[in-house]
Amino acid sequence: MTSAVTDPARPRRTDRKGDSGTRRRPDRRGGSRPAHADHGAWFLVLPALVPILLLSVGPLLYGIALAFTDSQSGRTSPTQWVGVLNFQDLLHDRLFWESFRIGLLWAIGVTVPQFLLALGLALLLNSNLRLRGLARALAIIPWAMPEVVVAVMWRLVYHPDAGVLNETLSGLGLGGDTDWLSGPATALPAVILVGVWAGMPQTTVALLAGLQNAPHELHEAAALDGAGAWRRFLTVTWPAIRPVALSVTALNFIWNFNSFALVYVLTGGGPGGRTRLPMLFAYEEAFRYGQFGYAAAMGCVMVAVISVLLAVYLAGRLKGGDEQ
């Protein structure tokens, strides 16, 4: 019989089980963790994941499936599968594409002024302003108000007979008899103004957070080098807040494009469809005319557009991150 000789140069093979026999995986920090830890993490995620699946993913999949049917309200015959017929009809629906154009005008008309005004307000609130805390609290009041309340309040402001706006213009000798929400030329600009006012605080808070992360040392160094306020903004402030600015602008555009409650309460899509956004058009087709399948097809088109915008935005962010 030969005795087994252990080679001291050969590393000893260790057991893959711990003292308790539980299989463990290497941790990134150099330690080890039980394999069942991954399963425990899923149980922690489930309370947040289940509502998303039930209230977001489930209705979305159901809406996509509904877009390929002739579902209508009040019909006695069973719902039939019609394929892409709803989408073919949608391509030739002039009213839908007109609402799509109005939706783009609305989203751009709200997002751009919203960002510019919010940037100016954030710069002001970031300065050494007296009662700065009170000013910051007052600046976010519109954000805390529900959209329906905001719309009702602005309907009173725009009221043609007793509204604050017309009363002020009348006192200044500038007319004061304009029906702002019912005039074909004034309805969309008036609604855009409300959208800018209602959404500006959220953008201001995000930009203010970005401004507070800007390095003060670079501002002081640029000022000592003789750089003016505009030069310091371009070379120091803007690079610091650019990621926040791009993110909040993209999200605001998507949010504004999908707006419903604010415009619905203000004008209901009128006058003559001048403020009928795509969401309002789909709502009317579904709940006023009962064309559920056709309205679902409109929703699918809007989801596709938003998905493309998100893809472009994420691609730009990833490209910017790689360059940095």
The per-residue pLDDT for range 78-107, each reduced to its tens digit, is: 888 999 999 999 999 999 999 999 999 999
Mean pLDDT within 23-28:
47
Q: Facing residues of 57 across strands?
A: none
Flag whether pLDDT at 16 surpasses 60: no
Flag whether pLDDT at 50 surpasses 90: no
pLDDT, residue 118, reads 92
* Torsion sign (Cα): 162, 175, 263, 297: positive
> ∠ at Cα 240 (237, 245), nearest 5°?
95
Q: Which residues, in sequence order, are CB contacts of 213 under 8 Å at separation 6+?
A: 240
Closest CA to 256 of 147, 180, 159: 147
pLDDT, residue 19, reads 45
The model carries a pTM of 0.79
- How far is 17 from 21, CA to CA, in rounded Å? 5
CB-based contact 274:102 (threshold 8 Å)? yes
pLDDT per residue over 176-214, tens digit each? 788 899 989 999 999 999 999 998 988 998 998 888 877
pLDDT, residue 13, reads 43
Longest Cα separation, the chain: 118
Matching residue, tokens 């959404």: 199
Closest CA to 303 of 12, 72, 26, 59: 59
Residue 185 or residue 228, greater confidence: 185
pLDDT, residue 175, reads 78
What percent of the chain is modeled with pLDDT above 90? 35
Phi, psi of 3 (to 5 degrees): -90, 145
pLDDT, residue 131, reads 73
Instruction: Specify the 3-state DSSP secondary structure of 273.
Output: coil
Residue 9 or residue 128, greater confidence: 128
Flag whether pLDDT at 2 surpasses 60: no
